[in-house]
Amino acid sequence: MEPNTHLVCAAALFCGLIATATADDAPSATPYRPTISNPAELSAPGWLELEMGWNRQNNRSDRRQALPYTAKLALDEEWGILVSGEAFIRESGSEANGNGFGDTSFIIKRRFATADENLNFGIEAGLKLPTAHHQLGSGKTDWSINGIVSYDFDDSWRLDVNLGVTRLGARALEEGLTSTLWAAAVSKSFGDWGVAVEHSGTYQRGLPNGRQWLIATSYAVSPRFVLDMGATHDRRDRETGHSLFFGFTWLASRLF
């Protein structure tokens, strides 16, 4: 990783710790990372919430490092907007080589509450713009929609299930126009600590199906600042890979 990327991570983490060192009456953060599946809930209305991390992916022939980020703003209890992407990517291997910025996604999210306070539904609709440096993205715009079901079994156990479909702007002639992603995560909290296990998969006509297992742990430094770390193991056809990651969620500032 470039030295300046280390500085970005260190500066963001330091700012988050300083901002959360003093107790106040602010609401708690609502982490979406590190699992693929998002919860149906929005972050605190009117507050800017930031997520950032580092991950390293390896398979038999390729290596990839990235700094993913997400900025979230809930307009009220039902509507929110998200901007996400990768602030830095470094790839090396048989498929691509290079480093730079990644693509950028813009998402509108709607939460649906139910009579059962433990059950929530959500839907996310968005587009991914081709902002990545050369060879680090598809170079085309993708459109996506994602359905979410979240259920709290009690005060400590939780299930999040996502099913998403993406209409691809770029594909090979023999490949399908759409890609489907499903993910199911079970998590449990132990006071300030939490653990999560997730199974996910992808389907696109003309390509082998993908499968991934994820395990992660998190720690709430304060209600507004949550650290996480974990690992994944994935398989596509006969090729396997793995990744390591860490990051944080920070309820940064009230905007309105």
Residue 204 to residues 177, 179, 188, 199, 201, Cα–Cα distance (Å): 8, 5, 32, 18, 10
pLDDT tens, position by position, 189-226: 999 999 999 999 999 999 999 999 999 999 999 999 99
What is the chain's percent helix, strand, coil content, to nearest 5? 5, 60, 35
**Looking at residue 113, what is its pLDDT?**
94
Which tokens is 241 given? 């890979």
Counting as low any pLDDT under 70, the low residues of the chain are 1-24, 94-96
**Looking at residue 22, what is its pLDDT?**
47
- Residues 169-207 as b/e (b if ≥16 CB within 10 A, e otherwise) read bebeeeeeebbebbbbbbbeeeeeebebebebbbebeeb
As a whole number of angstroms, the distance between CA 149 and CA 38 comes to 9
Which tokens is 8 given? 């970005």
**Looking at residue 134, what is its pLDDT?**
79
**Looking at residue 3, what is its pLDDT?**
44
**Looking at residue 9, what is its pLDDT?**
53
Q: What's the pTM value of the predicted model, to 2 decimals?
A: 0.89
CATH superfamily of 3-22+33-254: monomeric porin ompg (2.40.160.40)
**Looking at residue 17, what is its pLDDT?**
54
- Provide the 8-state DSSP code for 45: B
Sorted by where each begins, the domain ranges of the chain are 3-22+33-254
**Looking at residue 25, what is its pLDDT?**
73
**Looking at residue 161, what is its pLDDT?**
98
Q: What angle do CA 148, 151, 153 make, to 5 degrees?
A: 165
